[in-house]
């Protein structure tokens, strides 16, 4: 490839494949989707994440062409979708219920995805075989849906949705019907298949762990609006608001005031934590400003002895949960604030040699780089 061709390819793949421009959708006077703008790249797994009723399915349905935006525009692969009906879009959708035909074999279910394609019987057979290979179900082509497992049914639905080689696959809660163990396994399979086909996936989910594992990037939605877009690590480690920080994972919040900013560091007065704490500063911070310090439970150290460092506070174990791989401590500070702390059980511990139990006094401490400072 010449240098020009390489740079053209880079430019093409970094250009957004889907552009959602200021899209809103109202049902009567209710705005289900409110001024959403998003750019999704080709070959990405992009998750729309949010609680029930936040508008994620409505947004997905507008991409599919099942709903029309009240205002705004959607472009797929550079083409304005305003007047393009669902069946003419380079898009397919995999529904939550999979909607497999119970009386048809796995093969026939997959072939059904090709019913509108102009193909010879031999081409159709080849394509079905290719899809069965892709989802590793070559042995199961003749079985009916009730003769295979839930995870396998999910893969049949995926094969059917991918059969006509859509440029974009929309997946509505694709793993919701699977139990936890199978869901974890299938998440990786789904990622593998996406990687092999290079099809752009937009996945709707209310499950934050699923969005974190599956997606290259995600949009966190609330009340019809996109609150933050970013890679999972970005959204988890650098949430832009209290809403996003609280929605993704567990977190402790303490309200306070900035006492001083010294270069990269800020001193924060936090009455609920009983004193002054040091944290990495953020742009625009100045003394006197109201601030929220947010810190994840796994970023707090817990010890019986005073660690003798900055950012240490003493409390009493108020509650304790043993979760196998980790333990969750709820520690009450003198102000009454309850701080959640996660301790990974790196070594095997017996019932009587835990670090601390109910009513024990413990010290909590954290590094200045661990908390997140939030102004909204
Ligand atoms: P869930 O996870 O519960 O499916 P969601 O984020 O996918 O939620 P949507 O299905 O997009 O939510 O719905 C967003 C809001 O719009 C909800 O309050 C819903 O009741 C409303 N809504 C969706 N479709 C319609 C409709 N056809 N008519 C009226 N209101 C609707």
Å from CA of 224 to ligand 1 middle: 9
- For 71-86, how does the pLDDT look when each residue is reduced to its tens digit (9 = 90+)? 999 999 999 999 899 9
**CB of residue 36 inside a 6 A radius of ligand 1:** no
Per-residue pLDDT band for 2 (boundaries 50, 70, 90) equals: very low
Instruction: Decide: 183 and 93 in contact? Cβ < 8 Å.
Output: no
371 within ligand 1 shell (Cβ under 6 A):
no
DSSP labels, 134-145: HTT-GGGTTS-G
Pocket test for ligand 1, best of 27, 63, 221, 223 (most atoms within 8 A of CB): 27
Ligand 1 in reach of 51 Cβ (< 6 A): no
Pick the residue whose CA is nearest to atom 17 on ligand 1: 53
Band (pLDDT 50/70/90 cuts) for residue 136 is: confident
- Residue of 98, 102, 213 whose CA lies nearest to 154: 98
Whose C-alpha lies nearest to ligand 1, atom 21?
A: 32
**In the structure encoding, which two tokens stand for residue 237, read together?**
């480690």
pLDDT digits (tens, 9 = 90+) for 263-278: 999 999 999 999 999 9
Q: Is 25 in the pocket of ligand 1 (CB under 6 A)?
A: no
Task: For ligand 1, say whether the CB of 32 is within 6 Å of any of its atoms.
Answer: yes
* Percent of the chain scoring above 70 in pLDDT: 94
pLDDT band for position 287 (cuts 50, 70, 90): very high
Compute, in angstroms, the gap from residue 22 CA to the centroid of ligand 1: 19
Question: For residue 52, how far is its CA from the centre of ligand 1 (angstroms)?
Answer: 8
| CATH numbers and ranges of domains, the chain | 10-246 (3.40.50.300), 250-374 (2.40.50.140)
pLDDT on residue 14: 65
What's the chain's Rg over C-alpha atoms?
25
Q: Are residues 33 and 25 in contact, defined by beta-carbon separation less than 8 angstroms?
A: yes
Neighbours of 33 (CB within 10 A): 29
69 in ligand 1 pocket by Cβ < 6 Å?
no
The alpha carbon of 25 and the centre of ligand 1 are apart by a number of angstroms equal to 10
Q: What is the pLDDT of residues 158-177, one digit of tens each?
A: 899 889 889 999 999 888 87
CA of 203 to the centre of ligand 1 (A): 16
Measured over the CA atoms of residue 357, residue 277, residue 229 and residue 25, the dihedral's sign is positive
Residue nearest to atom 29 of ligand 1 (CA): 27
Residue 40: other Cβ atoms inside 10 A? 24
Ligand 1 center from residue 76 Cα (angstroms)? 23
128 pLDDT above the threshold of 60: yes
119 or 362, higher pLDDT: 362
Across residues 11-38, what is the average pLDDT?
A: 89
Q: Is the CB of 227 under 6 A from ligand 1?
A: no
18 near 32, Cβ under 8 Å?
Answer: no
pLDDT tens digits, one per residue of 347-360:
776 666 678 878 89
Greatest alpha-carbon span in the chain: 76
C-beta 127 within 6 A of ligand 1: no
């Amino acid at each position: 490839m010449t240098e020009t061709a390489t740079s053209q390819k880079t430019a093409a793949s970094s250009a957004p494949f889907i552009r959602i421009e200021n899209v809103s959708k109202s049902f009567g006077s209710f705005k289900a989707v409110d001024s959403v703008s998003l750019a999704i790249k080709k070959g990405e797994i992009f998750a729309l994440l949010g609680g029930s009723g936040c508008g994620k399915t409505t947004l997905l349905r507008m991409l599919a062409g099942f709903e029309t935006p009240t205002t705004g525009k959607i472009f797929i692969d550079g083409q304005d979708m305003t007047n393009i009906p669902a069946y003419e879009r380079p898009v397919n959708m995999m529904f939550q219920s999979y909607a497999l035909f119970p009386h048809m074999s796995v093969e026939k279910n997959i072939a059904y995805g090709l019913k509108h394609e102009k193909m010879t019987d031999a081409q159709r057979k080849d394509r079905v075989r290719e899809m069965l290979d892709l989802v590793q179900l070559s042995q199961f082509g003749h079985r009916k849906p009730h003769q295979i497992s839930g995870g396998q049914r999910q893969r049949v639905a995926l094969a059917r949705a991918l059969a006509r080689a859509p440029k974009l696959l929309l997946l509505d809660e694709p793993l919701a019907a699977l139990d936890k163990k199978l869901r974890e396994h299938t998440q990786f399979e789904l990622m593998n298949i996406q990687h092999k086909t290079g099809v752009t996936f937009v996945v709707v989910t209310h499950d934050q762990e699923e969005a974190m594992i599956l997606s290259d990037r995600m949009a966190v939605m609330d009340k019809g609006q996109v609150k933050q877009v970013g890679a999972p690590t970005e959204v988890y480690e650098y949430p832009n608001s209290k809403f996003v920080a609280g929605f993704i994972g567990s977190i402790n919040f303490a309200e306070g005031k900035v006492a001083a900013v010294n270069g990269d560091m800020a001193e924060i007065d936090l009455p609920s934590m009983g004193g002054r704490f040091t944290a990495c500063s953020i742009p625009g911070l100045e003394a006197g400003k109201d601030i929220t310090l947010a810190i994840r439970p796994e970023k707090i150290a817990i010890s019986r002895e005073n660690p003798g460092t900055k950012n240490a506070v003493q409390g009493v174990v108020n509650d304790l949960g043993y979760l196998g791989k980790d333990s969750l401590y709820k520690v009450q500070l003198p102000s009454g604030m309850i701080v959640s702390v996660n301790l990974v059980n790196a070594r095997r511990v017996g019932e009587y040699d835990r670090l601390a139990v109910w009513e024990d006094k413990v010290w909590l401490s954290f590094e200045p780089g661990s908390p997140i400072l939030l102004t909204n």
